[in-house]
């Protein structure tokens, strides 16, 4: 499982103030903590600062990369902000994201064409958010084909089928899980990703619900996720779930996690 650390996100009140005040030390610490707990990418999101997003997002990339050698996941619906962040980013980031919304799609394709960038293909279109597996697959198929036609490698594409809150419909968890399974089966070599915690909006014990849903998604082939790597129980569940579906030869990762104290909770 490739973990994208979600904590540097301006939708979190504390981080919003730290970004506004350009508080270097706090941002650096949050980046370091997430790396130390297994993040392979550090998500940076300044989406609530309308108009100032390109400036803040570039500052976040620079600040994270002063601290850790981990690449960023550049999280913005605004191609101008993505471009600004990309200018200062060292190494290969994960672009979050392209979608089938025409303005975003048309602005993102030239950035991605012939590049070695990694990119999240988010299942959204001008018709809004998809709810069924069929609607997600239609969008995913168009995005994957056009990215490949534009010379983006299949292994650099991370499809995000979009997680909805389970409180808004009984079937929504299953539709998401079926999407992961089908995408992994039909597009060999592709990655799948999601922002898991959307599933628990509006219900109690969110962390617990997120952890259970993660195990279910792993069983369908989810291979990366945007989440809080400081959630110890979540990280333990991931190791165990991957071992239990056969992605851990001789249970070596499981045993190592045990030895490192990852399972020390009750
Ligand atoms: N797909 C893709 N990118 C995404 C998402 C997605 N980026 C943003 C988001 N969804 C993933 N990131 C977060 C970051 C924080 C939280 C959830 C998802 C979160 N915040 C607490 C809350 O909302 O209750 C805030 C608590 C706090 O203030 O700390 O849970 O789906 N491609």
The chain-wide mean pLDDT, for the chain, equals 97
pLDDT at position 255 is 98
What distance in angstroms lies between residue 251's CA and the mean position of ligand 1's atoms? Answer: 31
Q: Who contacts 161 (Cβ-Cβ below 8 Å, separation ≥6)?
A: 123, 130, 136, 140, 176, 179, 180, 183, 192, 194
Summarised one tens digit per residue, pLDDT across range 163-205 is: 999 999 999 999 999 999 999 999 999 999 999 999 999 999 9
Quick check: 150 and 114 in contact, CB under 8 A?
A: yes
What distance in angstroms lies between residue 122's CA and the mean position of ligand 1's atoms? Answer: 15
pLDDT at position 129 is 96
Q: Measured from the CB, is residue 96 less than 6 Å from ligand 1?
A: yes
pLDDT at position 190 is 98
Nearest CA, atom 22, ligand 1: 12
Is 266's pLDDT higher than 80? Answer: no
pLDDT at position 126 is 98
Give the tokens for residue 38. 């297994």
Q: Measured from the CB, is residue 229 less than 6 Å from ligand 1?
A: no
pLDDT-derived band of residue 89, with 50, 70 and 90 as boundaries?
Answer: very high
Is 240's pLDDT higher than 80? Answer: yes
What value does the mean pLDDT take over residues 80-90?
98
What value does the mean pLDDT take over residues 205-222?
97
Q: Who contacts 185 (Cβ-Cβ below 8 Å, separation ≥6)?
A: 221
pLDDT at position 265 is 85
pTM comes to: 0.97
Atom index in ligand 1 nearest the CA of residue 163 equals 31
Summarised one tens digit per residue, pLDDT across range 28-56 is: 999 999 999 999 999 999 999 989 999 99
Q: Measured from the CB, is residue 195 less than 6 Å from ligand 1?
A: yes
What value does the mean pLDDT take over residues 203-214?
97
Determine the length of the chain. 266
Q: State the alpha helices, DSSP H only, in the chain.
A: 13-20, 24-36, 53-67, 79-88, 102-112, 133-149, 172-186, 206-220, 232-244, 252-259
- Between CA 106 and CA 112, with CA 108 as vertex, the angle to 5 degrees is 125
What distance in angstroms lies between residue 200's CA and the mean position of ligand 1's atoms? Answer: 11
Nearest CA, atom 29, ligand 1: 12
Q: Measured from the CB, is residue 122 less than 6 Å from ligand 1?
A: yes
What distance in angstroms lies between residue 9's CA and the mean position of ligand 1's atoms? Answer: 7
Summarised one tens digit per residue, pLDDT across range 92-151 is: 999 999 999 999 999 999 999 999 999 999 999 999 999 999 999 999 999 999 999 999
pLDDT at position 53 is 97
Cα–Cα distance for residue pair 173/133, rounded to 1 Å: 10
């Amino acid at each position: 499982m490739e973990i994208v650390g979600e904590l540097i996100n301006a939708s979190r009140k504390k981080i919003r103030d730290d970004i506004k005040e350009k508080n270097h030390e706090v941002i650096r610490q949050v980046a370091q903590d997430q790396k130390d707990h297994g993040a392979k990418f550090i998500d940076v999101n300044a989406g609530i600062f309308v108009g100032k997003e390109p400036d803040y997002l570039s500052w976040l990339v620079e600040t994270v990369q002063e601290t850790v050698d981990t690449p960023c996941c550049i999280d913005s619906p605004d191609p101008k902000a993505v471009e600004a962040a990309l200018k200062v980013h060292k190494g290969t980031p994960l672009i979050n994201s392209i979608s089938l919304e025409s303005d975003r799609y048309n602005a993102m394709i030239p950035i991605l064409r012939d590049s070695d960038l990694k990119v999240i293909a988010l299942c959204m279109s001008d018709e809004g958010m998809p709810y069924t597996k069929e609607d997600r697959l239609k969008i995913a198929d168009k995005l994957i084909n056009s990215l490949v036609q534009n010379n983006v490698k299949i292994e650099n594409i991370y499809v995000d089928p979009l997680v909805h809150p389970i409180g808004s419909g009984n079937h929504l968890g299953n539709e998401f899980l079926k999407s992961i399974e089908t995408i992994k089966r039909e597009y060999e070599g592709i990655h799948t990703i999601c922002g898991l915690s959307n599933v628990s909006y509006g219900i109690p014990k969110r962390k617990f619900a997120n952890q259970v849903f993660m195990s279910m998604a792993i069983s369908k082939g989810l291979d990366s996720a945007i989440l809080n790597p400081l959630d110890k129980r979540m990280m333990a569940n991931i190791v165990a779930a991957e071992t239990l579906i056969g992605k851990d030869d001789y249970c070596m990762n499981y045993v190592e996690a045990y030895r490192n104290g990852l399972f020390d909770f009750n």
